């Protein structure tokens, strides 16, 4: 019998305590970020999709087309190709394609690169209804960024 009364009075008390907490929260300021109206700032280490880094001297890509990133990628989403101009020592990058539909953002490519040729971008607004929008031509992106 005492359990019965405990349930009623203890229970009623716990319910009042609960209501008290929620009503106090009601008058506190909101904490959510209004995303399309407020643009979030990405952290410095944010790992977006990769992009090519610029060589300060030449203005072109830092990439020497060694193909390490292509081999390191677990999902095979990177295609690198380059040509060796007459008399030049290094290869020059011609295509760097990232198939973002397969990419899992693991960062193996950036880690494997010995020339600081790729880095993580801070892009995050990547929604699209067209699959082809996710085949990134990184060389073109580098030129456009100039």
How far is residue 75's CA from residue 118's CA, in Å, rounded to a whole number?
A: 17
In whole angstroms, the minimum distance from the beta carbon of 127 to other proteins comes to: 17
How far is residue 124's CA from residue 90's CA, in Å, rounded to a whole number?
A: 33
How far is residue 114's CA from residue 68's CA, in Å, rounded to a whole number?
A: 8
In whole angstroms, the minimum distance from the beta carbon of 146 to other proteins comes to: 26
23 binds other proteins (CB under 8 A): yes
Stretch that binds other proteins, among 51-59, 78-86, 104-112, 129-137 (CB under 8 A): 104-112
Exactly one of 1, 2, 3, 17 binds other proteins (CB under 8 A); which one? 17
Stretch that binds other proteins, among 89-97, 105-113, 125-133, 136-144 (CB under 8 A): 105-113
Three-class SS state of 90 = coil
Residues 50-69 that bind other proteins (CB under 8 A): none
How far is residue 10's CA from residue 60's CA, in Å, rounded to a whole number?
A: 73
* C-beta of residue 9 within 8 angstroms of C-beta of residue 17: no
83 binds other proteins (CB under 8 A): no
Buried b (16+ CB within 10 A) or exposed e, 5-22: eeeeeeeeeeeeeeeeee
Chain positions contacting other proteins, by CB under 8 A: 4, 7-8, 10-12, 14-15, 17-19, 21-23, 25-26, 28-32, 34, 43, 45-47, 72-74, 104-108, 111-112, 120
């Amino acid at each position: 019998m005492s359990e019965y009364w405990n349930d009623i009075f203890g229970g009623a008390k716990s319910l009042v305590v609960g209501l008290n907490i929620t009503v106090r929260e009601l008058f506190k300021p909101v904490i959510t970020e209004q995303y399309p109206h407020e643009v979030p700032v990405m952290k410095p280490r944010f790992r977006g999709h990769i992009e090519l880094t610029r060589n300060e001297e030449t203005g072109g890509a830092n990439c020497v087309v060694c193909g390490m990133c292509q081999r390191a990628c677990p999902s095979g989403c990177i295609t690198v190709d380059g040509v060796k101009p007459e008399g030049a020592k290094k290869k020059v990058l011609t295509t760097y394609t990232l198939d973002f539909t397969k990419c899992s953002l693991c960062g193996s490519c950036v880690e494997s690169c010995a020339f600081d040729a790729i880095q993580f971008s801070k892009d995050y607004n990547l929604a699209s209804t067209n699959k082809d929008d996710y085949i990134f031509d990184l060389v073109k992106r580098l030129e456009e960024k100039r």
